[in-house]
A and B are shown apart, each in its own frame.
Chain A
Amino acid sequence: MSSSTPIRYSKSDYIETDTGNKVAKSCHIKGPSNIVLGGKTIIQPGVMIRGDLRRAGGSGPAVVIAVGKYCVMGENSVIRPPCKTYKGVFSYYPMKIGDYVSIGSNSIVEAASIGNGVEIGKNCIIGPLTIIKDNARIADNSIVGPGTIIPSLGEWGGSPARPTVTLPESTPELIEAKAKAYYARFQPE
């Protein structure tokens, strides 16, 4: 398909919010009051988002998962806040996802922070408390070990993921344009 061809979806399968988020009805969103979507983010069918896994000891609303704008969560991916035991207390830690982030289908993400314009491939496992900097890319079928720090504009792949190449300088603009174009193409029937 050419890049301007619309990708059609059935209107009854998705909920569209005021800020333009399109969330598939068949995805599993736990603790929705703890999840913030930045707008124009697409959540595909079967995605699991665990907003209920919150910091230990708190009460009332808290931001557990913050997602930026123009993000895409691929089918059946799992977004789960990372956890660890610190000074005898087991706790979950909030996860922040930047703008223009795409997460491939069937990937499991437990990162602490994902920068802007990050592309995560299909079937990846992003270990707990990983930090992915802006415009990094994770190749398909990669396993990023716990606590890895991935610098900006780096492409990582393999198991455990290691740096492969440095992405070209024009990547930020490219990713932003692609994310916006994808949202524009994603239209109801």
Chain B
Amino acid sequence: MANSTASSSQVLVHCPCLNALSISRPPPSEPPLSTYKHHDLSSLLFCEECDAIRCDTCVSCEIACFYCPNCLFEVPSASVRGEKNRCARNCFQCPQCTHTLSVVASDPDPSTPLSSAAASAGQPPYYLSCSYCRWDSKEVGIVFEKPTGLALQLQKSEEAAPEIVEFDHVKDHLEPFLRRGQAHAPHATTSAATSAASASLSSSSFLKDMPGLGQRYGSLFGLSSRARGGEAQGARDELEKYEALFPAGGLAASAKGKEKGKDVDLDAEHVRAMREMREMEDVASLDKRWTSSWKQPLLANDLKPLRTPLQAKRSKRCPECKHILIKPEQKASSIRFKIKLVASNYLPSIELYRRPPATIGSRLSAIAAGTASGMRRTPRTAIGRSMNDAGGVEEEPLRPGRTYTFELSFTNPLYEPISVRTQVARPIAQGGVEGAPAPFAVSSPTMSFPISAYAEEWEYEDDDDGGRDGGEDDDLEGGDGSASPFKKKRGSKYGAGIVERKMNRTTVALEVAVGRDTVGPIRANMLVTFVYQSEDSAAPPSPTKSPVKGGGHKDDQKSFSFWTLLPLGTVTPRAEPRRSMAVSSSSG
């Protein structure tokens, strides 16, 4: 994130992905298991019906519209298949570097004066040129008479190409088989309705597009269509033998042979080209060969320009209740959504920030700056540091055996005040070793605090504002990071552990003691439960029912729980006994 600085990070939120949330058992906190289930709050969705977090991996997606990323033309879905998922207008990609090609005219007669209009307009034939790598389509013999309707002009040569003819032949061959499968497809979908997972699969366009799949591989997906079928199934499985129009392997050779009227051995040609080859780049790389064309040429200078692949906007549904969570507007360039249920409108966002230990340098500068000034922390040397630049500041790593104070800032997006209870799970030993000492310990694992409702900025009263500065001055005097924030009087204004309450944001302190033998990144699982008043059981944005009841509440109070992952930092043992900036910044 560009304008958050190095030492502050977003707390990741856990998506249970249809599994029931367990309050007592935290989700795995160490990668690779943690990476797939913990997300930035901004990338999560929220289903109001199920009252649950949804992530990109558990929602079911549907294509809302296709568009060309270059000309931003919305392609009707009916013509997508016919155009082979590529733009049928004037958009082409460079086969070498994938940059968009532009149509240029050939150079005019050298006698034309350079300042004349004709000199810059050029003349036919036109060709495609890459402004990035200087590739041009004349290299592969593609030129155009006029600079418009290029795809149409190219289509003629494309349609006659043996690989396209062969592909169409295969399609024609499989079509009747697929149609037969489609006629019986409803069996699979109805019998599968029992299990939620297979239902979503069978209703997905995946199986609709490939009807035979449900019958043939249904058992793999948990579809039980075995009972039906019988003889019909056997008949459906039968596919006539396919006979290729062009012999395998000799596709290009036969085409070339036809053109020249004699048999050309393609292999011999390749061998000859390779003998003369001086550079590795002359061979088309594998990814270009596989993704870039129907034909897969061996030599780089055989690669043809590609029509730009289409992109799609997706609408997303809750996997459980099938309600739409995301529905984009059809227009390709629009960023508006008709339906958009994102988790950041429902859950408090949490920011983690490590309070820097007061080093000798910062104490000196604090004295220099004067205690009454607003300089509470190490003054930033680069005045007016760019927000993009700030990410480059190296964070000092954590040291084993020391205690650090973290601040957690909760921001409430709801229009009603909430009361939050956090509970940090007991950290498990590194590497899952039984009986090993915990890598770190949190001093007060459970905390409860309120957060005010979200409101426009001018609606907040002023009296909250001074809260933080009052508390910060004695923080400076208190010196090193190991001093406990709880021993001071600072918390007294708001309650134990609360550093600041300002508008819809509450900041609490968390003390973490790093174990003596801990090395590497440490992460903490934290359960967040928030309770809010729901004045109307159906009114948004209040989620209606709750899977997890915070026990002992009145009926009009609702609660919601979710797990979070706090990336506390990386523990690096000190390389030298002396503390120096060079050492601390050299480690990752």
Contact = CB atoms under 8 A, between A and B. Distances in A.
Contact of A133 (B328, B333, B385): B333
Interface stretch (B75-83, B115-123, B232-240): B115-123
A9 to B, nearest CB: 4
B335 A135 contact: yes
Given A88-B121, A169-B340, A44 B384 contact: yes
Contacts of A171: 42, 335
B3 to A, nearest CB: 4
Nearest to A161: B99
Given A7-B385, A13-B384, A104-B386, A145 B4 contact: no
B70 interface: yes
A4 B344 contact: no
B380 A7 contact: yes
A105 interface: yes
A146 B100 CA distance: 9
Give the most central of B120, B130, B351: most A CB within 10 Å.
B120
Contacts of B45: 169
B389 A14 contact: no
Interface stretch (A32-40, A57-65, A178-186): A178-186
B97 A160 contact: yes
Interface in A99-135: 102-105, 119, 121-122, 127, 133-135
Contact of B335 (A42, A153, A160, A178): A153
A121 B388 contact: yes
B584 interface: no
Contacts of A168: 40, 42-43, 56, 342
Nearest to B71: A149
Given A88-B116, A148-B100, A154 B384 contact: no
A85 B388 CA distance: 34
B383 A169 contact: no
Contacts, number: 156
B452 interface: no
A4 B505 contact: yes
B387 A3 contact: no
Contacts of B2: 102, 104, 119, 121, 178
Interface string B24-53: 000000000000000010110100000000
A171 B507 CA distance: 24
Interface residues of A, number: 60
A151 B97 contact: no
Contacts of A85: 120
Contacts of B222: none
B99 A2 contact: no
A146 B132 contact: yes
Contacts of B100: 145, 147-149
Interface string B327-343: 01000111101001010
A48 interface: no
A169 B342 contact: yes
B451 interface: no
Nearest to B339: A169
A2 B131 contact: no
A3 B351 contact: yes
Given A8-B380, A160-B98, A168-B342, A151 B311 contact: yes
8 contacts: A2-B353, A2-B409, A75-B386, A88-B120, A147-B131, A163-B311, A174-B42, A178-B2
Given A8-B375, A121-B2, 15 more contacts: A2-B409, A3-B351, A7-B380, A7-B385, A8-B380, A9-B384, A75-B389, A86-B120, A104-B389, A133-B333, A145-B130, A145-B131, A146-B132, A168-B43, A171-B42
